[in-house]
Structure 1
Amino acid sequence: MTAPPPNQVLLSWSGGKDAAWALHVLRQRGDVDVVGLLTTIVEGADRVSMQDIRVEVVHAQAASAGLPLIEMRVPRQPDNAVYGARLAEALQVARSRWPSLRTLAFGDLFLDDIRHWRMQQCARLGWEAAFPLFGRDTAALAREMQAGGLRAALCCVDTTQLDASFAGSDFDADLLAALPVQVDPCGERGEFHTCVLDGPMFAAPLMLARGPTVLREGRFACTDFLART
């Protein structure tokens, strides 16, 4: 009996470790085929929403992953109506390229309200939402990522939850040991966000230079990462 073709999947791509590891995990499965990445870019800033990663960096990540990147551009603080409309447009672009595509995957780990909201957004547009990492123990997952060769650095720190001095730090065993006990090892509650530099999902490491760290919105300590020339 001939096996059914793998289900095509579009992956929500932040440029951070969870999205990157979700790509790695999905590629280990035989029943899915990740065909592209979808990233949310803030209009006028040319940076990824929340992560604050430069758009050229996520394009470099996508190139190293061997996947096309679809940009979903939104205002800095879109309401649900605007976000939903932009998502519909971006998914239509994806569907025009891959007509059988119907699944959007996310790297979320344990926040049920976010998971439910994403499922609602997708269902409204006739799509399914998938969460390949959801429910994992985040301490074990962080160690798995590091042991598996993922290299990342903290690109954004919420200074109301974690000291600004952590911005720019490598996401490694020393970081996990230094994090305050109330901070999730993967930053799932928004304590920090990361920029992925290398890992098994990439053909080659990204050659990025750490730039300055600035405080945005009076709260977020963001370390810039720039492509080396």
Structure 2
Amino acid sequence: MKKAYFNWSTGKDSSLALYHILQQKEYSVTQLVTTVNKDYERVSMHGLREALLDAQVERLQLPLEKIYFPAEVTMSDYDEAMRKATQKLIEKDFQYGIFGDIFLEDLRKYREEKLQELGITGVFPLWKQDTKALLKEFISLGFKAITVCVNAKLLDESFVGRILDEDFINDLPDTVDPCGENGEFHTFTFDGPIFSSPIDFTIGEKVLKSYVPSKKEENTCGSDNSSWDRAFWYCDLIPK
């Protein structure tokens, strides 16, 4: 099998993509990689406590490489840190990097260009699949996930801290992708067929956070920060 590392985000897309990869048996996944905000000890963007990431990894029974970033990072700093991390993976004979992306062409192009510079091939097992069908498959397989971050411009507070189920799918506005592929929401997967046991947690406070990026900063997806969404609802999950 082809030796591969997996870009683990802690959410539903990563979980389903990893499930598919493990079922196909074309790739041997022996390493997870996750970016973490070192200032807050939380998973980047998702706002998830690092301890819950660790709980996932323990149940996945795969080694994890954490890539730490400060709360504010320029595009050039991000690229350099990712380049160094990827170079270390190459030194361990990894030739493939697996992602849970579904249809964002610009993001896939960005990832592939950076990887190709170092000789890594990107793999996208969920690419171009119907997102509503994917979410229904996720639920039917026995995965369980909760929303930890939602874009306040597109979803109200009631959608954060909510379990993904059929009611959740039905309640989503037509303008929101069922998998949140445009960044509408992010999730934490706490149970499912790839985990050895469920992860226990309690639901903490819900807070609205607004961001005002510096005009000198570039975002970590390579686009002009003037297009950023600035307000997000977060639900804090507390490990038991």
TM over 0.5: yes
Count the aligned residue pairs: 221
Does the residue aligned with 2:193 lie in a helix, a strand or coil?
coil
Q: Say yes or no: does 1:29 pair with 2:41.
A: no
2:175 corresponds in structure 1 to 182
Q: How does 1:1-229 map to 2 (within 5 A)?
A: 6-96=1-91, 99-217=92-210, 219-228=231-240
Per-residue deviation, 1:9 = 1.1
**Contact between 2:150 and 2:185, CA under 8 Å: does it hold in 1?**
yes
Per-residue deviation, 1:76 = 2.5
**Amino acid of the structure 2 residue aligned with 1:127:** I
1:26-50 Cα offsets, whole Å, 9 max, x none, are 0001211111110011120111111
How far apart, in 1, do the equivalents of 2:178 and 2:142 lie? 17
5+ residue gaps, structure 2: 212-230
**Contact between 2:146 and 2:164, CA under 8 Å: does it hold in 1?**
yes
TM-score (norm 2): 0.89
RMSD: 1.2
**Amino acid of the structure 1 residue aligned with 2:24:** R
**Amino acid of the structure 2 residue aligned with 1:216:** K
TM-score (norm 1): 0.93
How far apart, in 2, do the equivalents of 1:90 and 1:60 lie? 23
**Contact between 2:205 and 2:235, CA under 8 Å: does it hold in 1?**
yes
5+ residue gaps, structure 1: 1-5
Does the residue aligned with 2:86 lie in a helix, a strand or coil?
helix
Fraction of identical pairs, as percent:
35
Does the residue aligned with 1:86 lie in a helix, a strand or coil?
helix
1:185-205 Cα offsets, whole Å, 9 max, x none, are 100011100011101111111
Per-residue deviation, 1:133 = 0.6
**Contact between 1:70 and 1:94, CA under 8 Å: does it hold in 2?**
no
Per-residue deviation, 1:124 = 1.8
